[in-house]
Every structure is written in C-alpha cells, then in structure tokens.
A and B are shown apart, each in its own frame.
Chain A
Amino acid sequence: MKKFINAAKDYVPEYLEGIILAHGDRLALAEDNGRALVRRNPVPGKVAIVTGGGSGHLPLFLGYVGDGLADACAVGNVFASPSYISMVSAAKAVESGAGVLYLFGNYGGDRMNFDMAAEELNSEGVETCQVWCTDDVASAPKEKSENRRGVAGIVFVYKAAGAAAARMLPLAEVVRIAKKANAHTRSMGVSMSACTLPEIGKPSFTIDEGEMEVGMGIHGEPGVTRGKIMPADEVAEILVSNITKDMEYPSGSRVAVLINLLGGTCLEEGYIVYRKIHSLLLALGIEPVGVRVGEYSTSMEMAGVSLSMMLLDDELESLLFDAASTPFVVFEQNRG
C-alpha cells in the first residue's frame, strides 16, 4: 500500500479536518456530530437536501454540499454507510421548516440507515422523504432495475433536485424531480485496477495486468465480464451500447453526459474515451449537452472510467443549467 496517510484509523477524521481547514468559509461540521458536514449558508425556507455515504469516493458525497446542490452530508467510514445518528444530525443542522429530502445511492447499509433516520425525523415532525439512485445498468438487469446500485449518475440527480430546491419548490416537487432525474439517468463503467482500503492495507481483489472488468461497481463489486484491455474506442462502444440498449433515446434526444474517472485514470484518457463516445452518440441521433469529464465519483485509486447519461426534457434541461457551486464542483448558468 502506498498512500499519503498517517495512522490508517485517522484517515476519515484527518481528511475531514483538511477539508474544513481548506474550505471553512463554505463548509463546517455540525456542532453535535463530527460526521455531519453542512454548508455555512443554508437558505431559510428551502427544502433541505441531505446526502450521505461511505468515504473513499471524493468528491462524492460531501463534495456536492454547496449552493444549488445538497445542503448537508453524513460521512461514513471508507466504503461504509454513515450511522443514522449522523444522518439525523446532518438534516437537523440545515432543515428550516420546508422538509428534508434524503438523496443517496442504492446500497444496503445506506438504505437501512437513511430509513431509520427518516423515521426519526418524521416522528419528530420534520417531514422527510427519501430518493435513492439506481443508475448503474451493469448492476442488475432491466427487469430488476430497482436493485441497481447508484454510481456517478447521482450527480445529475443532485443537480436537478438541488436546482428545484433552490427555486424554492415544495418538498413534493423536489422529490418528483429527483425521482424523474434518476429514472432518466443511466451509467456504465469499466475498471482496470483494484483499490486498497487504508485500514486493510492490501487490495481486497485484483485485476491482472493486461485485463479490465466491464461493469465493476465502485467498491469492486463484480461486473459483467472480465477480459483483455481494449482500445479506448472499443471501451466507448461498450459503454454507449449498454446504456442505449437499456433505455429508449428517440432520434433528436438531448442528453447530459458525464465521463467519470474513478481515481487512478488521468483526464487525458477521459477525453480520449469521450472523443469516441461523442461520435457514437451523434451517429445515434443523440446530442450531448453540458458535457463534463473528470473525477465526480471515485473509488480511491481505482483505474477506470464510467459514462453517465441523463435524457433531458425541457424541465430537466432548465434545471441542469441553473448555476450551482461547491468547493469541488461548479455548474455555470446556462452552460452546465
């Protein structure tokens, strides 16, 4: 293991400390909970969007806390759900009477804990709804799409729901939009190497030199196939074909496109893959809009790339193009 760390057990508290020191003008930890990160400038009367998940995926999840996206985030240990107690603390620190939307990825531990947290908030009179993202097409067949995991596509759901909340829409509307954004979003990824949990010190699985795994999850969950490393153009074809056969994209569709790098792959490679994806989409009569290439949902030092696409309608496109910003990500007005 080669990591810039001190004691492995201090991995989470120390990176959180660094984030607060660097971005303390915008972010803070909740007074009663060191695992609940909140924005410093909550908007009174706005629906509070609260997310959460394990560490090891930065900028996911806490990197989306800011203006026009999420308001708070419960922070778990590496690859583990936060406790429901920190989820409750995160929500209480930012909610201001308009209700809470818990927005997160579809993983067992997160589902269970957010469920308990929502139950507790509702029992205390804080109206709380939950939406979990299920964009990873490789994680379950179409007939069982409700079992799919959430991966980088959650960024689009944050954006749409965050913009809806920033427009001061009521909770029911923010929930409707979050669900619609998730239903319109698909992701698919390819990995080329494993990652190491700091406290374990060795990779929990391996991908041989010269091999790649199609459809691997962001914690190393098994994918669809493992085989020889392919040229970037062929990887692009696999990503596009798996997504476009899972969902109808009528000719003339506009889609928001996100090329996500998993932590151990450089930006140049991301653009090499995008180059082919762009031409494949055009050939299918699909117009890419607001294209983003970069690290949006990582798996520590895993080498890999994923494609996320959100099929746009007028409502989603308008929400996508509202300005939003955090210390980690910026969406420009009218440009995405």
Chain B
Amino acid sequence: MYNSETVKRTLRSIAGIIAENSAFLSELDAAMGDGDLGIHMYRGFEKSCDLVENLDESPGKLLNRAGACFIEEAPSTLGTLMGLFIRAMGLELGDKANFSFEDFLNMAKRGYNEIIKRGKAAPGDKTILDSLHPAIEAMQEAFSQGAPPKQCIALGYEASKDGLAYSTGLKAIHGRPAYFAEKTIGMQDGGATVGMLLMEGLNEVAAIEGCDIE
C-alpha cells in the first residue's frame, strides 16, 4: 500500500525531471507556441512540491492541494490541465490514508478524463493525451495480467515514449500549435513530452531499490 510519503516522493521526482527538461520544453514550445511551457511546468511542480512537502495530510488531500497550487502558479493551458489532473487524482482518492496500485490506476484515469473534459481534446490530437493514454492503457493491461506495479509502471513509461513518438507525426489541432497546422507534422509536441516525463518520474520512483511501490 502507498501513502502520503509516496505522493510526496513521486511529485518531487517528477519535479526534478521537469526541472532538468525545462529549457528543452520551452524550445519545443517556441517552435509552435510562445516558448513558455518549460517555465510554467517548472514553476507549477516546484511550488506544489514545496507546498505539500511539509503538510501532514492524507494522500488525496495532498494531491488536491498540489493541484490547486499548480493551477495558481502555472495558469497556462497545459498548466491548468496539469493542475486539474493532479487535483482529480486527489478527489478520486478521497480521505483514504493508504492506497493500492489499483487505486492509483483509477486515480490516473480520473485525472485523464478531467483533461479530456476541460481541454476538449482526444487522443490523436497531438496533445499530452497522446503519451498519457497509452501509458495508462499499458499499466492497466499489465496489471490485469498480474504483473507487479514496478513492471506495470516500467511498461507504462515505455508506452508513453512510443505515444510521444507517434504524436510527433500528427498534426496539431488545439491551442497555439494549431495555427501552424501542417507545419507541426514531424515536430515534437511539448504537452505529449510532459506526459512522457510524468511517467519517467513515476518510473524513477518505482525503480529505486527498497522503494515501497512494489
């Protein structure tokens, strides 16, 4: 079972990976947007990590607070969607003090559906959904076949990379990239990259020896 410490550790791991990739994300965004994606993602994860680090709350409440903080600190389109994603995961968990990997999959699905509801996009639109969707599917499938969580997450991470690669060949139809239309084919999407980096952070936590994820 996982708890508040798992949530804090995972958020911190993702924040670290986003920080490392911040300039790269801004470069991707500059090619078909206004070039501030890295700044927003970095600020959102840093601030929400800092906030929850010293809070003594249930894991659901921590995610709730982190999501609300993210929306305030990084209110770009993707920043808002990321905040809503994190918050929805917390809402799914409610007051539980501990949660299972199955709970985690349900949280991820709830968060994913929130992005669809608010962003009004679908997989195949060259957005963050294109890396998150295959990742969640792969984790769910592996879990259904009895694979341990660590392996499910590793497979999810691989699937997110494949999804990202696939989305690079697609044409953007949402947000500022949509104004570049055909020109976006072959360009790597910043949002899909963020989705992959989330899985990278999760995988990093899961892969640490002695970590309680398994």
Contact = CB atoms under 8 A, between A and B. Distances in A.
Interface of A: 76-86, 108-109, 112-113, 115-116, 139, 197, 199-200, 204-205, 217, 219-222
Contact of A84 (B30, B35, B71): B71
A113 B119 contact: no
B109 interface: no
A112 B71 contact: no
Nearest to A196: B35
B26 A80 contact: no
B173 to A, nearest CB: 10
Contact of B30 (A108, A112, A113, A204): A204
Interface residues of B, number: 26
Interface string B56-71: 0000000000001001
Given A109-B76, A112-B77, A112-B80, A80 B36 contact: yes
A80 B176 CA distance: 11
A200 B76 contact: no
B118 A112 contact: yes
Contact of B72 (A81, A85, A112): A85
A222 to B, nearest CB: 6
Contacts of A217: 179
A205 B30 CA distance: 7
Nearest to A56: B34
A205 B176 CA distance: 14
B96 interface: no
A83 B36 contact: no
Interface of B: 26, 30, 33-36, 39-40, 68, 71-72, 75-77, 79-81, 118-120, 174-176, 179-180, 183
Given A204-B35, A222-B179, A80 B71 contact: no
Question: Nearest 10 A-B pairs (CB), nearest first?
Answer: A204-B35, A83-B75, A109-B77, A204-B30, A80-B76, A221-B179, A108-B175, A79-B34, A219-B34, A108-B77
A217 B81 CA distance: 24
A220 B179 CA distance: 10
A79 B77 contact: no
29 contacts: A76-B75, A77-B40, A77-B75, A78-B36, A79-B34, A83-B71, A83-B80, A85-B72, A86-B75, A108-B175, A109-B80, A109-B175, A112-B80, A112-B119, A112-B120, A113-B75, A115-B118, A197-B36, A199-B39, A200-B26, A200-B36, A200-B39, A204-B30, A204-B33, A204-B35, A205-B30, A217-B179, A219-B176, A220-B34
A81 B175 CA distance: 12
A120 to B, nearest CB: 12
Contacts of A86: 75
Contacts of A197: 34-36
Given A81-B75, A84-B80, A204-B35, 6 more contacts: A80-B36, A85-B71, A85-B72, A109-B75, A109-B76, A221-B179
Nearest to A33: B72
A77 B47 CA distance: 16
Contacts of B33: 204
B34 to A, nearest CB: 5
B182 to A, nearest CB: 11
Contacts of A220: 34
Contacts of A199: 36, 39
A82 B35 contact: no
A200 B36 CA distance: 7
